[in-house]
Amino acid sequence: MQTLETLIRHWRDDPGGTYHTWFLWAERLKNFRSIRRGLQTVVQEIGAGTFGSQYRGSSLETVVHSIAEQRQMFKGADHAFLWKPKLRIPDIYESPDNQLAFGRFLDTCACCSGGDELIQAIRDLDRRKIKGLGPAAANLLYFLHPTHMPPFNTAIVNGYNALTGARVKLGRWEEYLALREGMLRLTAAHRGQLSNDLGAVAGLLFDLGRGRYAPPPREEDSAAVGVWQADLARVREESASASRALRAAQEGDHSHTQVQGWLRDLGRALGYEVWIAANDRSRAYEGGRLSDGCLETLPPGIAGTPGADAVRLIDVVWFAGGTLAPAAAFEVEHTTSIYSGIVRLLDLALGAPERAVQGLYLVAPDEREADVRGQVRRPAFQAVTHLNMRYLPYSELERHREAMGRFGQGLRAVEAIARRL
């Protein structure tokens, strides 16, 4: 028990461990709502018979791709859903009955409120024995119910087995449920260090499973414990050194916060009231906070809409002075999920149609333009092309922002440097 507590402390202190690189990553939390909304679209299309028989270009591909973007924890998460014609798996594309069962499963899980209901939904799906549709789908459930359902992949399983001596295997729901029970016990036993969000214990096991740390030796073997603790300290120090070198190499790059600051100052110069994403408000910027001089709360006309929780996480929103009608919204996609940013902009634009937003902008480095265009062209977003979302390159914003703030009027200057998608 003592060695496990030591391992958890080292994991939490390790700059290169998943606790810092993924679990505390602000974009992780911002993506939950967009992934849930994407799964709702999958359910709706299956129910309406419009989902189709292909993975490529489907609404499911869009949402699974967003999950796979969640850094190393979910790398390869889309593999299980790729249609493999020679094996006829997973059989949710060519079998209408299996497709409907999968849709009902997702819909039931989205509406569940507790672990018992989720387990029953899993057992109902498992009884159908849909070829190729195993517990890889648990990664979808995690983004619906992070306190009830953990992620599931090879590294997590390997880490759990190494830590506990269990023999959990991939590929069967019963194995996943056994793993889940063990992860819940670990979380309960170390409540002071592990969040009730099961992504925390999953991240710890992932790092164990990929060999970043060795599992704790028996506590009575003091010599082995000493060597193991020295190895933990070495890994942490190597990671800290690598992190310092990486920060030094990136000093010339524009950070996400810096670009938000540019947009904040430009919006205020143009006479707008500015909203900064709720989870970024306290970030340090130019000797103060990023949210200095900005709105403290969303205007009532927006705060009461169904998508308000997502709108609060939009990086920057400009509201017209006086009326506080939304004028423009900006998602800064420095290295983060473009898909999730698009969904948040749509929550604003579609949530309050009587207050039509004049400008929706994806702000990203010049080298990400192809990624931005590729995401906007996904079939899942074809129904909202009339909203005229634009791409705003970093280089154009940096080059013209000061002149725009001094001589510009409204959104005309922004529109002049933004690119149609």
pLDDT digit string, tens, across residues 283-314: 888 989 999 999 999 998 888 887 788 899 99
The predicted pLDDT at position 236 comes to 62
pLDDT digits (tens, 9 = 90+) for 3-53: 889 999 999 988 889 998 899 887 788 788 889 989 999 999 999 999 988
- Please give the model's pTM, rounded to 2 decimal places: 0.72
Rounded (5°) CA angle 62-169-161: 110
What mean pLDDT do residues 99-109 have?
A: 96
Task: Say yes or no to pLDDT of 246 above 80.
Answer: no
What mean pLDDT do residues 209-236 have?
A: 73
The predicted pLDDT at position 250 comes to 43
Rounded (5°) CA angle 345-351-356: 75
Q: How far apart are CA 394 and CA 230, in angstroms?
A: 44
Contact between residue 362 and residue 390 where contact means Cβ atoms under 8 Å apart: yes
Q: How far apart are CA 358 and CA 378, in angstroms?
A: 22
Q: Which helix (H) or strand (E) holds 37?
A: helix 26-48
The predicted pLDDT at position 248 comes to 42
Q: How far apart are CA 203 and CA 208, in angstroms?
A: 9
The predicted pLDDT at position 57 comes to 82
Largest CA distance in the chain: 73
pLDDT digits (tens, 9 = 90+) for 12-21: 988 889 998 8
pLDDT digits (tens, 9 = 90+) for 405-416: 988 888 998 999
Residue 68's pLDDT band, with cuts at 50, 70 and 90, is confident
Left if phi > 0, otherwise alpha if psi is -120 to 50, otherwise beta: which for 388? left
| Nearest to 208, CA basis, from 415, 81, 19 | 19
Task: Say yes or no to pLDDT of 382 above 90.
Answer: no
Comparing 105 with 307, which gets the higher pLDDT?
A: 105
Domain ranges of the chain: 1-250, 256-420
The predicted pLDDT at position 251 comes to 40
* Contacts of residue 73, Cβ cutoff 8 Å, sequence gap at least 6: 18, 22, 151, 153, 199, 202, 203, 206
pLDDT digits (tens, 9 = 90+) for 315-330: 999 999 888 989 999 9
The per-residue pLDDT of the chain, averaged, comes to 87
pLDDT-wise least confident of 52-56, 197-201, 206-210, 352-356: 352-356
Scanning the structure block, which residue is given the tokens 């120090």? 237
Task: Say yes or no to pLDDT of 390 above 60.
Answer: yes
Q: How far apart are CA 181 and CA 278, in angstroms?
A: 34
The predicted pLDDT at position 154 comes to 93
With pLDDT > 70 as the criterion, what percentage of the chain qualifies? 90
Comparing 224 with 400, which gets the higher pLDDT?
A: 400
The predicted pLDDT at position 421 comes to 87
pLDDT digits (tens, 9 = 90+) for 115-161: 999 999 999 999 999 999 988 899 999 999 999 999 999 999 999 99
The predicted pLDDT at position 93 comes to 93
The predicted pLDDT at position 305 comes to 82
pLDDT digits (tens, 9 = 90+) for 247-266: 543 443 458 899 999 999 99
Characterize 101-140 residue by residue with b for buried, 16 or more Cβ atoms within 10 angstroms of its Cβ, and e for exposed: bbbbbbbbbbebeeeeebbebbeebbeeebebbbbbbbbb
